[in-house]
A and B are shown apart, each in its own frame.
Chain A
Amino acid sequence: MKICSRCIYDSNVPAITFDENGVCNYCKMIDDLKEQYKTGTSEGEKNLQEIVEQIKKEGKGKKYDCVVGVSGGTDSSFMIIKAVEWGLRPLAVHYDNTWNTAIATENIRKVLGKLNVDLYTHVVDNKESDDIFRSFFLANVPELDAATDLALAETLYRAAGKHDVKYILEGHSFITEGVAPLGNVYFDGAYIKNIHKQFGTMKIKTYPLMDFWSFMKWILVKKIKKIRPLWYITYSKQDARKWLEKDFGWHYYGGHHLENRMTAFNHSVYFPQKFGIDLRNLSLAASARAGFITREEALEEYKKPPYIEPELVDYFKKRLGLSDETYEKVMKGPRKTYKDYKTYKKRFELLRPMFFVLAKANLVPMSFYIKYTSKNEI
């Protein structure tokens, strides 16, 4: 078992390689991104300000000039506050997969209430939502929550499209979270559609599926851009949390993505127990890589078992209608990946040059280009 000498990613991480100093290729990817975006430097800040001004310009005369996805979590709450601070007029967008906790909804309410920002929500029919989750579970793949991620992306586009907004702001930070290895978190419309076709039991009517042509429509026809401000400026999660708690009465839910029960199950039970991967490694590796904590501290924290809300597993089984036998069978079953099912990956690889251009134009995130269009996943 080899562990990177700089962060804490180990050989379990898909597509990982180590250079002669033992530093992994994911560290290198982050360094490259940092160089590209001039993160945390005055040049990076300047670039971001230019983008913000551009957003304001294009948004003149419209009700909103950008949309921001909110989940009640740290990053998105911080993002919406900054957007308002920069003088933008955002529409907050939430995709409700019907597994939210009260903390999440309350955080959204408090932050948006204080900032006087409007909220657009897409709620999927709970039975459909569960049918899709169940399909992914029975498919033995890691992406239990991929459906939520893709649905949020589509919902953001729809909200932007509805109000003729050309910019989506995302609160992703590669400094604090790294970039998730593709082998752990792959999602596209074909993947979801095909897994659901194979394992699902009901028709999809309210789930916002983004198939290839929708994707093309949003980026080529509607030309809606995705901006990740936290790629340009310094960002500390701890500081963000303190600010949120003090000024907005926001509450921390105890762990990355634990504000939603499905994600909580995914991160604290499913991934560690079935795939031997503790997704806390993403943020811990990133913190170590960036020097927020030492590599030893990160490894120490990683060794401690993740926090699991009591009765979470029971709730999961009950809600998805899984018998104990079926649950055990999957948990102890084979470890499949997106490569075992039909996806758009090949198509994305073929269109690599086009996506490079689109990434440069901010029409797709650079990390999408890096991971999805490369034959090596990185």
Chain B
Amino acid sequence: MLKTRVIPCLLLRDESLVKTVQFRKFGYIGDPANTCRIFNELEVDELAFLDITASKENREPNYKILREIANECFMPLSYGGGIRSIQMAEIIFNIGFEKIILNSYPFEKPNIISELAQAFGSQSIIIAIDVKKNFFGKYETFGLSGTVNKKKKPAAWAREVQDLGAGEILLTSIDHEGTWKGFDLDLIKQVADSVSIPVIAHGGAGNIEDIGKACSKGHASAVAVGSMVVYQKQGMGVLVNFPDKNNLSKVIG
């Protein structure tokens, strides 16, 4: 049967890999291509890259780095960050990435989703939804690396993008990101239960049990991990790693 995917989600800033906490506070992780090489040797199932300042800085993806990354990896790759047109998407697919991730641009132009799905197939389009809890404890969607409140409810926006042709949703809890305290299971369940496309839970994974819960309690189809795979432990040094396959299969089968 299908294995639940556990996907390291790596953040690109300029030409380096970084890690954030709640979308702030950058810590250096290392060279993108070399880190990929390590994940490749660890035989991870899939990798996702997010250029976290591309849209905010209103610039194009860094194709040079993407090429270096694609040359190192023998597993599926996704890329997100600053994608605003079919041409850009095509370049990225040709470089060797399987899927593209859009976050901010669809708020401006929702039809870009259907255009991309038509041209390349829904399965290659992932829509990233970043969520923060507001003062009253209600979930709100944000764009541009968590800086602009789009005032949409996550589940509603998820249904909208699904209808437009999105193939998957990358759901990130900004509040939990980089904190190691576990996923926001309520948020994940809310969104996963309202759509039929796969939801990738992201933000807060601290250990293998968290990964299991995201699937069993949150109904996520896949899990994206950040801090867990680039740090030795919480608060400790950078050390690229991936959970042991046997331990993983115990929690996700």
> Do A and B contact each other directly (Cβ–Cβ < 8 Å)?
yes
Q: Which residues of A contact B (CB under 8 A)?
A: 92-94, 96, 98-103, 105-106, 108-109, 112, 118-127, 129, 206, 261, 318-319
A119 B233 Cβ-Cβ under 8 A: yes
Cβ of B241 and Cβ of A109 under 8 Å apart?
Answer: yes
Does the CB pair A102–B41 fall under 8 Å? yes
User: What is the predominant secondary structure among interface residues of chain A facing chain B?
Assistant: mixed
Contact of B34 among A93, A99, A106, A122 (CB under 8 A): A99
A121 touches B238 (CB 8 A): yes
**B31: which A residues are within 8 A, CB to CB?**
98-99, 126, 129, 319
Q: Does B197 contact A (CB under 8 A)?
A: no
Q: Is there an interface contact between A96 and B15, defined as CB atoms closer than 8 Å?
A: no
Q: Which residues of A contact B236 (CB under 8 A)?
A: 118-121
Nearest neighbor of A109 in chain B, beta-carbon distance: B241
Q: Are A102 and B15 in contact (CB under 8 A)?
A: no
Contact B239 A118 (CB under 8 A): no
- Residue contact A106 to B15, C-beta cutoff 8 Å: no
Query: Which residues does chain B contribute within 8 Å of A121, judged by CB atoms?
Result: 232, 236-239
Q: Kindly report which residue of chain B lies nearest to residue A116, judged by CB atoms.
A: B233
10 contacts between A and B (CB under 8 A): A93-B237, A102-B38, A103-B41, A118-B232, A118-B233, A121-B232, A121-B236, A125-B28, A127-B16, A319-B31
A126 pairs with B15, CB closer than 8 A: yes
| Number of B positions contacting A (CB below 8 A) | 24
Given the known interface contacts A102-B37, A120-B236, A120-B237, the answer about A125 and B16 at a Cβ–Cβ threshold of 8 Å is yes
B75 interfacial by beta-carbon distance below 8 Å: no
Residue B42 at the A interface, CB < 8 A? yes
Given A100-B38, A109-B232, A118-B236, answer yes or no on A123-B30 (Cβ-Cβ < 8 Å): yes
Cα distance A120–B167 in the bound complex, in angstroms: 40
Contact residue among B16, B32, B38, B233 (Cβ-Cβ distance under 8 Å from A105): B38
With A99-B34, A112-B232: A119-B16 Cβ-Cβ less than 8 Å = no
Q: How far is the CA of A319 from the CA of B30 in the complex (A)?
A: 13
| A100-B34 Cα distance, complex, nearest whole Å | 7
Q: Please name all residues of chain B whose beta carbon is closer than 8 Å to the beta carbon of A99 when the two chains form the complex.
A: 31, 34
Closest to A155 in B: B237
Spell out B's residues near A (CB within 8 Å): 14-16, 28-34, 37-38, 40-42, 68, 232-233, 236-241
Are A123 and B29 within 8 A (Cβ)? Answer: yes
Q: Chain B's nearest CB lies how many Å from the CB of A177?
A: 26
Q: State how many angstroms separate the Cβ of B43 from the closest Cβ of chain A.
A: 10
The chain A residue with its CB closest to the CB of B29 is: A123
Partner of A106, one of B29, B33, B42, B238: B42
Q: Is the CB of B28 within 8 A of A124?
A: yes
Give the chain B neighbours of A105 by CB distance below 8 A.
38, 239-241
CA distance A96 to B41 in the complex (A): 18
Among A119, A126, A318, A319, residue most surrounded by chain B Cβ atoms (within 10 Å) = A126
Evaluate contact between A127 and B15: CB separation under 8 angstroms: yes
Q: How far in angstroms is the closest Cβ of chain B from A295?
A: 38
In the complex, how many angstroms separate the beta carbon of B27 from the nearest chain A beta carbon? Answer: 8
Q: Which of A94, A100, A102, A318 contacts B237 (CB under 8 A)?
A: A94
Nearest-neighbor residue (CB-CB) of B37 within chain A: A102
Q: A98-B34, A261-B34 are in contact. List 19 more A-B contacts (CB 8 A).
A: A93-B237, A94-B238, A98-B30, A100-B30, A100-B34, A102-B38, A102-B240, A103-B41, A105-B239, A108-B239, A109-B239, A118-B233, A118-B237, A119-B237, A121-B237, A123-B28, A126-B31, A318-B68, A319-B31
Closest 5 CB pairs of A and B: A121-B237, A102-B41, A126-B31, A98-B31, A119-B237
Query: Which listed residue, A94, A122, A129, A261, touches B239 by the CB 8 Å rule?
Result: A94
- Which B residues are CB-close (under 8 A) to A98? 30-31, 34
Contact of B233 with A126 in the complex, beta carbons under 8 Å: no
Complex-state Cα separation, A42 to B239, whole angstroms: 38
Cα(A261)–Cα(B34), bound, Å: 10
Which chain A residues lie closer than 8 Å to B33 at the CB level? Answer: 319
Q: Please, which residues of chain A bring their CB within 8 A of the CB of B42?
A: 102, 106
Q: Which of B38, B40, B41, B238 meets A123, CB within 8 Å?
A: B238
Q: In whole Å, how far is A119's beta carbon from the nearest beta carbon of chain B?
A: 4
Q: Provide the bound-state CA to CA distance between A105 and B40, in Å.
A: 13
**Inter-chain contacts of A123 with B (CB < 8 A):** 28-30, 238
- Min CB distance B208 to A, Å, is 13
A206 touches B28 (CB 8 A): yes
Q: Please, how many angstroms separate the alpha-carbon atoms of A108 and B41 in the complex?
A: 15
